[in-house]
Every structure is written in C-alpha cells, then in structure tokens.
Amino acid sequence: MPVAAKIRTAKSAEKPRPKAAAGRAKAARTERNCSVARTLDIVSDAWAFLIIREAFFGTQTFEAFRSALGIPRATLTDRLKKLTQLAIFRQVSPGSSQRKEYRLTKMGFDLYPSFIALMQFGDRWLAKGKPPPLTLVHTSCGCDSHPTVTCSHCGESVSARDARYRDGPGAGRSPAREGRNTRRASDGNRFSLGRPSSVSRALEVIGDKWSFMVVREGFFGNRRYDKILNELAIAPNILTDRLNRLVASGVFYRRQYQSAPDRYEYLLTDMGMDLYGPFIVMLRWGDRWLAKGKPPLALTHLTCGHDFFAQVACNHCRQPIVAADMRYRLAYDPKAFGALGPRSVD
C-alpha cells in the first residue's frame, strides 16, 4: 500500500485529556533546549539544504546554483543572504572580477559529516533496491568508503543502545521559536530537486521540525501519545499526522497497550534506531557552533565508559573524514541535472 494511503487509513485513537489541553493553551509554549533542533533549523529548510549540498560539489556562483537547482532568482537571493548572515557562506570577489562567489566557511564545511551520516542512513534504508547515487572515495587511504559514526574517545562505532545521555550545562527549556520550519512531511519532495541524493531521501522523512522532535522523543524513551503530546506541547492533529507518517515510513511501529479506549505506544524500529548516528553528528555541530559553550546534553559511550562527541570516520582507515579528503564516483550523469561533478573519480 502506498505511504499516502497508509496515512489516510491509519487510525490513532489517542486523544489528549481536555484538562491538559486547556492548561497548554493558557501557558506560553516552551521546548527542550536541543542542539540537533538548532542544526535542523538550517538544513531542514529545503532550499538552504540544496544550496549547501551543491556547495559541497563545488558550486560557487549564483548562476551555477540557479542552473543546478532550478531555483527562482528571488528565493536564491534570499537563501544566499541568510546563509551568509549565518556564516555558513562567505562572499568573495575573485581577482578583478565583479562576479561574486559564495564559498563555504569553516562552519559550513563542518556540516559535511552531518550530510555524510544522513547519506549513509539513506543508502541503507531508503534506496528502494537501487544502487546509491554516489560512492565515496577517501583519498587519505584510497579506499571506497562507507563512513560510520564513531566515539571521539575510543574510535569505535556508536549506536543508541551503547550510549547514554545526561543534562549538560545548557539543559533546560526555552520559549518556542516562532517561524521555525513546520513543513508537513507531504511537502518533502522539494528536497529531491536537482541531483539524486540519499541525504534528500533522509530529510524527506525527518526533515521537518515536528517529525524530528517526535523521533527525538523516541530516543528519550517517551513512547506514549499523551507523554509526547505533553512534552512537545504539540497540536494533537499535528502529532497524530506525524506519528502516522513515521509509522508508514518505517521509523516507528505502533503497539497497543490498552483497549476501551484503545491506546498505543510508538516504538522505534531498527530503521528508526539507526537515525541515532545522524542525530548525534548533528548534535555535535550544533554544540560546536550554536550552543555558545553550553551544550544541552552530555553523551557517554558505554563501550569505553567515557564522555564523547560523535565523529564520522572512514570504515577502512578509521580516520575522521573531512570534505577536502573525499572524492565521488557518481552513478548518474550530473549534466542531466544541470549540476556540477567536480572532485569525482573515474
């Protein structure tokens, strides 16, 4: 059954308690301080994500971005301005040319591991039997690379089952930010504009604010509708929609724990648990660049017993990857998408 049909036919008998709903309406909505949410504020804007992705392939000029993405001029102007203000890009005028170029800053290049972690998730779970759009080649060791998320202390891989968290110095709650991306998951096809991309496929699933926050609550151990509803102060119809979509996409499965009335809990599948790697890589970026020295969470790797931050490392040489050391073998013709194909290998 198509995902859309599953969503239309899915039943969620969960209802918020009227008293709790009334209490939420009176109070200003707050949300948990979260470095992943701060990161997604940037990359879950579909146009911003696509522009950053093209920059990793070497695109630098306004016309090259426009050609690769088919993006309206006014929209491209707006996003490049915002990404420059956020210090993801810096604007330069090479030589005596009047043409301006947009180049990634150190902060922008540091998003690369997050993109690679999302790409690996997309390759594993969302390829629908097709080969990955590209193969990574790590020039430091010369091998085809399938990077993994690892512990910064011991270098071993990290999963949700062998890590735990505690509050960091930036923990707490803050007033909810207005204007943050609340795009419905059905609008996610914009992420797929331009070249084929496993990162795009991943963001189609978890790229809007509410889908991400619902999955995050799964990692915090919150499984039941009312608990998630109260924690997020989310509108009931939005929560029902996101849970149904995440069940349909395979991130959660629904298990009944009560009847008359029917009540369900939502548990992460193996696919959902595999989102932990991309999440903690984005957490690292948000902690480094947006937390002002006060990360909301501290992570401990149970395998080695040490606090850690997430790294994305080559599965062959185990060294952390950086954009400058990666080349690509493309499974598509970039010219067919108006895109560039630099730093590729034959």
Query: 3-class secondary structure for 87-112?
Result: CCEEEECCCCCCCCEEEECHHHHCCH
Residue from 110, 102, 60 nearest 85 by CA: 102
pLDDT digits (tens, 9 = 90+) for 319-330: 999 999 999 999
346 in any annotated domain: no
Tell me, what's the pLDDT at 41? 87
Tell me, what's the pLDDT at 134? 93
Contact (Cβ atoms closer than 8 angstroms) between residue 301 and residue 154: yes
Q: 125: which strand partners?
A: none
Q: Work out how many domains the chain is built from and give that number.
A: 1
Contacts of 176 (CB under 8 A, 6+ apart): 28, 29, 30, 31, 233
Q: Binning pLDDT at 50, 70 and 90, where does residue 343 land?
A: low
Residue from 193, 289, 185 nearest 246 by CA: 185
Q: What percent of the chain has pLDDT over 70?
A: 86
pLDDT digits (tens, 9 = 90+) for 167-199: 999 999 988 776 555 555 445 677 888 888 999
36 in any annotated domain: yes
Peptide bond into 296 cis (omega under 30): no
Measure the CA–CA gap between 201 and 53, rounded to whole angstroms: 13
Tell me, what's the pLDDT at 179? 53
Helix, strand or coil, per DSSP, at residue 335: helix
pLDDT digits (tens, 9 = 90+) for 107-144: 999 999 999 999 999 999 999 888 999 999 999 999 99
344 in any annotated domain: no
343 in any annotated domain: no
Q: The domain containing residue 13 runs over which residues? A: 3-93+100-337
Measure the CA–CA gap between 165 and 33, rounded to whole angstroms: 14
Burial of residue 107 (CB within 10 Å: 0-12, 13-18, 19+) is middle
Poorest-pLDDT segment among 16-20, 76-80, 93-97: 16-20
Measure the CA–CA gap between 163 and 308, rounded to whole angstroms: 9
Measure the CA–CA gap between 110 and 279, rounded to whole angstroms: 15
pLDDT digits (tens, 9 = 90+) for 215-234: 999 999 999 999 999 988 88
Measure the CA–CA gap between 334 and 68, rounded to whole angstroms: 9
Measure the CA–CA gap between 123 and 179, rounded to whole angstroms: 31
Q: Which helix (H) or strand (E) is 254 found in, with range? A: strand 252-258
Measure the CA–CA gap between 335 and 338, rounded to whole angstroms: 5
Residue from 305, 306, 309, 314 nearest 295 by CA: 309
Q: What tokens does 283 get?
A: 């957490």
88 in any annotated domain: yes
pTM (2 d.p.): 0.88
221 in any annotated domain: yes
Q: What tokens does 107 get?
A: 């902060």
Gyration radius (Cα) of the chain, Å: 21
Q: What tokens does 206 get?
A: 């978890």
168 in any annotated domain: yes
Measure the CA–CA gap between 97 and 53, rounded to whole angstroms: 25
pLDDT digits (tens, 9 = 90+) for 267-303: 999 999 999 999 999 999 999 999 999 999 999 999 9
342 in any annotated domain: no
